[in-house]
Amino acid sequence: MNKVELLAPAGNFESLMAAIQAGADAVYLGIGELNMRATANLNFEMRDLKNISELCHKNNIKVYVTLNTVVYDEEIGEIKKIIDEIKKQKIDAIIASDLAVINYARAIGVEVHISTQMSVSNLETVKFVSQFADRVVLARELSLEQITKIIKEIEFQKICGPNGKLIEIEVFAHGAMCVGVSGRCQMSLFHYNSSANKGRCVQMCRRKYRVIDVDTEKELVLDNNLIMSRSDLCTLDFLDKLVESGVKVLKIEGRGRGADYVYKVIKVYKKALEDIENKNYSKEKIEGYLEELKTVFNRGFSQGFYLGRSVDEWAKGEDNLATEKKQLIGQVNHFYPKPSVVEFKINSGVKAKNGDNFIITGPVTGIVLGTIEGILFDDNIVTFKIDKKVKKNDKVFLIYPV
């Protein structure tokens, strides 16, 4: 079987720990604002790189840093500082699309992966970038047939990157899709002076719009609830074919989503890949995995462009269609290791009881899931049994079916 790397998103330490706990092979993350998720709470600082590198490599997980925005002259100095630190902390590679970034990384010996923002969609471009990069994230507009042909030609023509090995092909396997070509949208910049290509998209395509005929002033009825908001990509229906194509990396989108999303999606795809390897992948298994994925944030599922353009690939409602919802009920005050009990102050008006499902998340803890047992109340102070260690200030959520 073609061994593939399962690549997880990490927008903060909670998600990073969740990816490790779920069994990801690698993680990708941003530093500062020079990446496609420039919001402060979705990124790390340069001072975090040493800790991240040590933590991930101790767990046999690779780390990639995204530096994939449009880059202006005044930002080159900052880019070089980041890449210098990446090299110093032995980060495995950067994900980039700007040639200035790529050129500097190669000049100092940092491995480069070509971002989907470069929109590589044919073999000739793969050949060209092979002088700089060891991996290419192909354009998200390609079909499975086109991807398979490119991979076969890479193998036949022995197209290698700077490390002397065959160029690896990476594709997106799950998560949000953008209505723009490979994410290069101008709507946010045009209307709000907030560039999607600088990681600051305000997601105008996720909004509802009314279309009015200027001449008649009649409002047009549209077939879709959200006319530009794409459903989430999900490849479980044909994951075995995607693996057979020869792709080396399956990338999960979601640096803007929670630790529970990262944990659940990585867990599901990890199990699915094991089923494929064991020749135990079936329709029943796929249906079960889809039900699991529906419990966390999603906008409905689509096959993207892999099997040809879908007839119905637009989101059907407001952002989140998850079949379960989280409610923040408090933060951990203390963990008692000997009885294995967590204590926290419950938010006013919240009711919790034995049998309720919970999630606890934190930057060191990652994610802990379970069912409340042995709950006790003392005014607003709550305790219940827990089988894993948690930390002070970790967030405690109840999970409810929608």
User: What pLDDT band is residue 247 in, cutting at 50, 70 and 90?
Assistant: very high
Q: Which residue has the higher pLDDT, 34 or 246?
A: 246
Cβ-contact 399, 326 below 8 angstroms: yes
Residue 199's identity, in one-letter code, is G
Mean pLDDT for the chain?
Answer: 88
Asked if pLDDT for residue 40 goes beyond 50, the answer is no
Angle at 198 between CA 249 and CA 224, to 5 degrees: 75
Pick the CATH number of 5-177+229-302 from 3.20.20.60, 3.20.20.70, 3.40.640.10, 3.30.300.30: 3.20.20.70
- Compute how many other C-beta atoms are within 10 angstroms of the C-beta atom of residue 183: 19
Residue 365: C-alpha distances to residues 301, 360, 395 (Å): 30, 8, 10
- CA-to-CA distance for 157 and 171, rounded, in angstroms? 21
**Which candidate, 82, 120, 126, 88, places its Cα nearest to that of 104?**
82
Distance CA 40, CA 43 (A): 6
- CATH assignment of 324-401? 2.40.30.10
Structural domain boundaries of the chain?
5-177+229-302, 183-220, 324-401
What is the distance of C-alpha 242 from the center of its chain?
18
The pairing of beta strand 249-252 with beta strand 168-175: parallel
The per-residue pLDDT for 205 is 65
Q: Which of 60, 29, 31, 33 is nearest to 46 (CA)?
A: 31
Per the CB < 8 A criterion, the answer to whether 82 and 71 are in contact is no
pLDDT tier at 308 (50, 70, 90 boundaries)? confident
Read off the pLDDT of residues 137-152 as tens digits, 9 standing for 90 and up: 999 889 999 999 999 9
- Nearest to residue 257, comparing CAs of 176, 370, 360, 367? 176
> Residue 48, exposed/middle/buried by CB under 10 A (0-12, 13-18, 19+)?
middle
Q: Which of 28-37, 94-103, 306-315 has the highest mean pLDDT?
A: 94-103
The amino acid occupying position 144 is: L
Residue 165, CA distances (Å) to 273, 280, 345 in order? 24, 31, 55
